[in-house]
Amino acid sequence: MDFHNEKTKDQIQRLASQFIERESNRNSLITVTNVQVTNDFKKAIIFVTVFPEDQEETAVHFLKRQRGEFKTFVKKNSRIRRIPFLDFIVDGGEKSRQRIEEITYNKDF
């Protein structure tokens, strides 16, 4: 990954965290865990975790409805010239890591 791609990824991750903190209703804790930006900068996928887990679907629907507002927020608060299509999904890898940790921790006791 080149420097420009990494810098764009970091900016989007920071701005997504700020936007979610500002716009969410606080019924659940939504955390941005990662961002992937395509090499052509046409799409950025923002990975999130949601606590409690039973609020995941509601949180992702909320984030998807807010994509337009988030794009405007990114335009106003960054120097990214062409804003990619922004999408939000639940970070399945993080959920798997947490499950493995839970199993390992409970096994030791």
pLDDT tens profile 21-75: 999 988 899 999 999 999 999 999 999 999 998 999 999 999 999 999 999 999 9
> What is the model's pLDDT at position 100?
73
> What is the model's pLDDT at position 85?
96
Determine the topology of domain 3-108 in CATH.
Answer: GMP Synthetase; Chain A, domain 3 (3.30.300)
> What is the model's pLDDT at position 73?
97
> What is the model's pLDDT at position 25?
86
The CB-side HSE value for 72 (13 A sphere, CA atoms) comes to 4
The residues spanned by each domain of the chain are: 3-108
Q: Which among 85, 86, 92 is positioned nearest to 50, based on CA atoms?
A: 92
d(CA 16, CA 88): 10
pLDDT tops 80 at residue 108: no
> What is the model's pLDDT at position 92?
85
Residue 13 has a CB neighbour count (10 Å cut-off) of 18
Q: Which among 29, 62, 63, 34 is positioned nearest to 47, based on CA atoms?
A: 34
